[in-house]
Amino acid sequence: MATEKEGPSHRKVTSVDVAKLAGVSRSAVSRTFTADASVSKQTREKVLRAAQELGYRVNKLASSLISNRSDLVGIIASNMDNPFRAQQVESLSRVLLSRGLKPILLLVEGAEDPSQIIGMLLEYNVSGVIVTSDTPPQSICQECITLGVPMVLVNKAESATDVDRVLLDNHKSGVLAAITLYESGAREMAFVTTEHPSYSLNVRIASFIKQCEKLGLTPVTQLTGKLQNYQGGMSACGQYLTKHRTVDGVFCVSDYMALGFLDGLRLNGPVEVPAQMKVISCDDIPQASWPIYELTTIRQDTHKLAVVVVDVLQERIKQPNNPAAVKILDVELVHRNSTATV
Amino acid sequence: MATEKEGPSHRKVTSVDVAKLAGVSRSAVSRTFTADASVSKQTREKVLRAAQELGYRVNKLASSLISNRSDLVGIIASNMDNPFRAQQVESLSRVLLSRGLKPILLLVEGAEDPSQIIGMLLEYNVSGVIVTSDTPPQSICQECITLGVPMVLVNKAESATDVDRVLLDNHKSGVLAAITLYESGAREMAFVTTEHPSYSLNVRIASFIKQCEKLGLTPVTQLTGKLQNYQGGMSACGQYLTKHRTVDGVFCVSDYMALGFLDGLRLNGPVEVPAQMKVISCDDIPQASWPIYELTTIRQDTHKLAVVVVDVLQERIKQPNNPAAVKILDVELVHRNSTATV
DNA sequence: CTGTTAGCGCTTTCAC
DNA sequence: GTGAAAGCGCTAACAG
């Protein structure tokens, strides 16, 4: 029922309709809408005109059935409350769309059942998967790899199997943080991290500590928040206030934590920044530049990151059997008031 | 090339393979994986076992080709820097996934070319579209409607054509804001909005003003930021500080703006909150509860919202010809320090 | 309840 | 460069 006179404008204009109107074959229509076609300009124009008139659109579902290219890309993400994460998802979505790929957004939380996620990806024959989640169920990655689904890990450790990865220069971040704090006058260092830090956070910290040692600034105090968020930063600040008041330079693994740390200083101290305490962190989320924070940070440009991630993914799609690529993106120090010399 | 011995585990297990192994027909396999099937328990088990063994998964692309149900849902969003927006997208994504629908995330910015977006939605035969963007290109909505694509607008004005909408109780928000400010002792009212407010923001303000009039609190001062964000709130604060110092109660159309307003008071005043000034706004983003802000706000629960939105969408998918539904969701006052009586 | 028979709309050899 | 034919993997009628 309801095929003849249901809606104002009929759906379901097929390539046959266009072919008929244009006076060509379905193949010609198909070719017109295929990137690397081989159609005469004449036919192409006839087809386009007819398509326009009928409001024809290629049915990607049907085409991907045979071409095996769905152009759907799964984004596996989590913790969108962290502005950096939200920005990252936004950037990825934009870049994918600009390349003709369509992002399917899959939010996963730690303990969630990953088999559902995998199922979905496979059912839709996704062209690729991008994993930005801190704690991506290993099983997802593993299965994607064994099934030959192109995948890119963002800022994650290498896994058992070789797989494409794009990393921010976490090592440089740690080094830069130590140097910047030192140059701003801090001499007793601490860092703020979480109980279950991800790979990238650990690298930042290891490099930070090592650089502190090189600078002769030991020991380096560890302040730990439960989660990698505002509350975590604030509770780490509590540890500083109660047990480590001699510290005068702090490296937070992320801006999100740093905001909590700074507010802890302000509310529970007050400890003046940068007069009594220098603070630096990583990401450069919008809040870092807010005048209330003026947080010195090591920028990780989410747009640039997204561009590289999608580049790598598309390369992998084109060349499924190439060896795994690892790209390291540069980061950039953004000087603000929290490490100003007074 | 590369079909025989390419990967470790072969892809492309089809229903035929499963049928063969299970000793049944392809239809039996299909029925086993269809929700409202009609299969004997025996066959079902045989099929499931065979499927398990082969690692079979339904190819949704193929199935949607004939069933016309892709289970893909477009989310049209923007301004993910606003934490409320990010949270909204996250909630929608989660709820969709929990119902077996897959969110395609489409970020659009005001002036972007909408025809591309429409094209995408149509090419993938999306089961529905959810529009949360403040400024959704009208053309997208219009075309979806004429093409009969189920669509739900979130917190948007009614358009020319009838279409499902889910609204937060913006009227109540405005009224509640006025009353709360009044009860906290404020007597000279202002509101903070943007140069191009969306429909929902306008309703909030209209109701706020009307309620202020009822309370005998006129005139009501308008403070305007350029954009609906932190910076906008802060620049609105500038107007208060320079031209309207007698105001003692402010209603911000969103928490995001309120944060900027509060920081403006703190940095450029300082004006004490709540002693000299009461502030209230809408959303209840995580930041509102941060101890540095303690912002009284009118909560709009994004999860509840998402549930209702998806309910409406699924109902529309089931009953395409029902009259358009309009649901209004309740909002809830969250009292915090910014309207405390001193 | 089950199998058989037709396609869904498209791309892609393959001759011409 | 173009058309005819052959499916991609699946579901939905239809008999049995």
Residues A204, A158 share a domain: no
Q: What is the CATH number of the domain that holds B220?
A: 3.40.50.2300
**Residue A210 included in any domain:** yes
Q: Is the C-beta of residue B59 closer than 7 Å to nucleic acid chain D? A: yes
Residue A51 CB partners (closer than 8 Å, separation 6+): A18, A22, A29, A32
Q: Which domain-ending residue is among B58, B76, B109?
A: B58
Residues B244, B195 share a domain: yes
Residues B180, B162 share a domain: no
Residues A178, A202 share a domain: yes
Q: Which residue is nearest to nucleotide C5 (CA to C1')?
A: B27
Q: Are B334 and B284 in contact (CB under 8 A)?
A: yes
A321 has a pLDDT exceeding 90: no
* Residues 10-29 (A) with a CB less than 8 A from some CB of B: 11
Alpha carbon of B206: minimum distance to chain A alpha carbons (Å): 30
**Residue B75 included in any domain:** yes
Distances (CA, A) of A34 to A30, A37, A38, B7, B199: 6, 5, 9, 28, 41
Radius of gyration of chain B from its Cα atoms, rounded to whole angstroms: 26
Collapse the DSSP code of B167 into the 3-class scheme (helix H, G, I; strand E, B; otherwise coil) and give the result: strand
Point out the nucleotide closest to A31 (alpha carbon to C1′).
Answer: C11
What pLDDT does A136 receive? 60
**Residue B1 included in any domain:** no
* Closest to B247 measured CA to CA, from B198, B212, B201: B212
Residues B260, B317 share a domain: no
What confidence tier does A138 reach under pLDDT thresholds 50, 70, 90? confident
Q: Which domain-ending residue is among A58, A89, A109?
A: A58
Token pair recorded at residue B121: 């939605």
* Closest to B284 measured CA to CA, from B253, B250, B255: B255
What confidence tier does A137 reach under pLDDT thresholds 50, 70, 90? low
**Residue B114 included in any domain:** yes
Residues A78, A153 share a domain: yes
Point out the nucleotide closest to B125 (alpha carbon to C1′).
Answer: C9
Residues B137, B44 share a domain: no
What pLDDT does A342 receive? 77
Residues B318, B254 share a domain: no
Using a CB–CB cutoff of 8 Å, tell me whether A147 touches chain B.
Answer: yes
Residue A20 is inside which H or E element, if any? helix A15-22
* Most confident option among A135-139, B112-116, B216-220, B279-283: B279-283
Query: What is the average pLDDT across A299-312?
Result: 97
Q: What is the CATH number of the domain that holds B54?
A: 1.10.260.40
Using a CB–CB cutoff of 8 Å, tell me whether B290 touches chain A.
Answer: yes
Query: What is the average pLDDT across B193-202?
Result: 95
Residues A267, A210 share a domain: yes
What confidence tier does A210 reach under pLDDT thresholds 50, 70, 90? very high
* Residues 257-286 (B) with a CB less than 8 A from some CB of A: 260, 263, 266-267, 286
**Rounded CA separation B340/B35 (Å):** 54
**Rounded CA separation B187/B217 (Å):** 6
Using a CB–CB cutoff of 8 Å, tell me whether B206 touches chain A.
Answer: no
Residues A96, A35 share a domain: no
B128 has a pLDDT exceeding 70: yes
**Residue A7 included in any domain:** no
pLDDT in tens, A73-119: 999 999 999 999 999 999 999 999 999 999 999 998 765 667 778 88
**Residue A6 included in any domain:** no
Cα B125 versus chain centre, distance: 22
What pLDDT does B162 receive? 84
Alpha-carbon torsion (B88, B93, B99, B101), positive or negative: positive
Contact list, B61 vs chain A (CB under 8 Å) = 61, 64-65, 70, 124-125
pLDDT in tens, A245-304: 999 999 999 999 999 999 999 999 899 999 999 999 999 999 999 999 999 999 999 999
**Residue B34 included in any domain:** yes
Count of domains for chain A = 3
Residues B306, B165 share a domain: yes
**Residue A187 included in any domain:** yes
Query: What is the average pLDDT across A210-223?
Result: 96
What pLDDT does B158 receive? 77
- Give the structural domain span for B46: 15-58
Residues A72, A149 share a domain: yes
Whether pTM > 0.85 for this model: the answer is yes
Q: Are B245 and B183 in contact (CB under 8 A)?
A: no
Q: Do B291 and A11 touch (CB under 8 A)?
A: no
Distances (CA, A) of A250 to A179, A243, A247, A292, B300: 12, 14, 8, 18, 36
